[in-house]
Copies of this chain bind each other. A is one copy, B any other.
Amino acid sequence: MPNKKDIIKTLKDKGYRCTNQREAILDVLLNNENHFISAEDIYIKTKKYYPKTNFSTVYRNLEVLDNLGVIHRTNTDGKKAMYEIICEDSHHHHIICKSCGKTEIVDFCPFLNIKEKFSNDGFKLTDHKFELYGYCEKCNEDN
């Protein structure tokens, strides 16, 4: 569980301010821990905390948070990006249902196995993406 105060401190240390909109967006992300959420859903939920938040503001803040390493951005389906707050003490991956979009956590991380292997390959590794796709029990039954 990432600490909200720590994140806000990180922001301030970097010269960023703590606006109502930014805090609301952060709250949405924190409440959605361990699950991907789209920019649009973040926008909708953020408006419940701070109704006059604008969609552009959401995108601008997601970029800031991504650059600071507070959130993780990915493209699971190829269309819209998905976001998730980063929990240093529980690095994980996802299994995603191709039918309903339901996700579950996968604790296994292949990066640990391969990290050293590539350290001397010219490439300097920084990130990795590991996602499993399939059909969840429910969607599997429906077909």
- Using a CB–CB cutoff of 8 Å, the interface residues on chain A facing chain B are 73-75, 78, 81, 95, 97-98, 104, 106, 108, 110-111, 113-114, 117-118, 121-137, 140
Given contacts A78-B75, A78-B81, contact A123 B97 (CB under 8 A): yes
Once A108-B113, A118-B95 are accepted as A-B contacts, the answer to whether A127 and B133 lie under 8 Å apart by CB is: yes
Complex contacts, A98 vs chain B, CB 8 Å: 126-127
Which of B81, B104, B123 lies in contact with A134, CB distance below 8 A?
A: B123
Q: Are B108 and A132 in contact (CB under 8 A)?
A: no
Cα distance A69–B123 when bound, in Å? 30
Check A124–B140 contact: CB distance below 8 A: yes
Establish whether residues A133 and B129, one from each chain, have CB atoms under 8 Å apart when the complex forms: yes
B117 engages A125 (CB within 8 Å): no
